[in-house]
Structure 1
Amino acid sequence: MLRLLWAASIHTRYFLRRYMPTNILLDLIRTRRGLKWGVPAMLLAAPYLLAASICTNLIADGGPGWLNLLVILFIWNALKFIVMGPVSLIVLLRVHIQEAGERRRVRRQSEAMKSARFEAIGA
């Protein structure tokens, strides 16, 4: 039974990561080229929170109970985008530091190669 639940959760996660628009967008933001779009993507949380508010008002006015599922989904998606902004900034800062270190390392190696060539020529 546990194996069946485990397999079902794996397939559900794969389906959601592969085909749901918010997960596709967040995967694109997590790439090196997409990190700069993390903070602007936080603005996408506003429409999700608005939709959750509208559904909550509909439920309060006697709407169907299944709208509660949409409220949870909208709030979850909003939270994903709100969290992705600061996370993308931290990751972008880390990537910039690593790239700067790599550039320094390459520059030092090229300078060492130049000085070794000049020493070989001068000797």
Structure 2
Amino acid sequence: MFGLILGATARIHYALRGLMPTNVLLDALHTRRGLKWGVPAMLLAVPYALAAVFCTGQADAGGSGWFNLLALVFAWNALKFLVVGPMTLMRLLWVLAREANGRRQASRAIPRDGNGLERFAEPELASRRV
């Protein structure tokens, strides 16, 4: 029974994930091209926090109880954007270090006497230097 509920919940979550704008943006930030935008995306936490404060104030002033649910959603989104900044910064530094290491290893693999293409040339063309 528990496995059935867990499976249904997971399927619903992944089906709706593409419809949630913050999750779509967070998925885009976790790509190689989007890593550089992680720290500026932290600024999106400010409007979400202000919206959470506004909804909490409306609920406290005698408004609908649904404002509490909205405040919870806004607070959750603000926390997601606060966390994504440092995470993407660390990941960007790690990726840049790996790319630099790959470039360094690739430059060591090229022979110093030529352009490194001799081993890929056809045998009759290998004797001629271009």
Same fold (TM over 0.5): yes
1:3 corresponds to: 3
Q: Tell me the distance in 2 between the aligned counterparts of 1:84 and 1:64.
A: 32
Q: Would you say 1:26 and 2:26 are equivalent positions?
A: yes
Task: Say if 1:92 and 1:113 are closer, same or farther in 2 by CA, change over 3 A.
Answer: farther
1:103 corresponds to: 103
The answer to which of 25-34 and 102-111 deviates more is: 102-111
Tell me which amino acid in the other structure corresponds to 1:75. A
Bigger helix fraction: 1
Q: How many residues align?
A: 118
Where structure 2 has 5 or more consecutive residues not aligned to the other structure, the ranges are 119-126
Shift, 1:6, TM fit = 1.2
Shift, 1:57, TM fit = 0.6
Tell me which amino acid in the other structure corresponds to 1:51. A
Shift, 1:3, TM fit = 2.3
Shift, 1:92, TM fit = 0.2
TM-score where L is the length of structure 2 = 0.83
Once the two structures are aligned, what percentage of the paired residues are identical? 52
Tell me which amino acid in the other structure corresponds to 1:85. G
Tell me which amino acid in the other structure corresponds to 1:69. L
Q: Tell me the distance in 2 between the aligned counterparts of 1:30 and 1:50.
A: 25
| CA radius of gyration, larger in | 2
Tell me which amino acid in the other structure corresponds to 2:103. R
Q: Would you say 1:66 and 2:74 are equivalent positions?
A: no
Output the aligned Cα RMSD.
1.9
Deviations 1:28-71 (A, max 9, x none): 00000000000110000011011101101101100111211111
Contact 1:16/1:23 (<8 A) preserved? no
- Following superposition, which runs of at least 4 residues in structure 1 exceed 6 angstroms of deviation? none
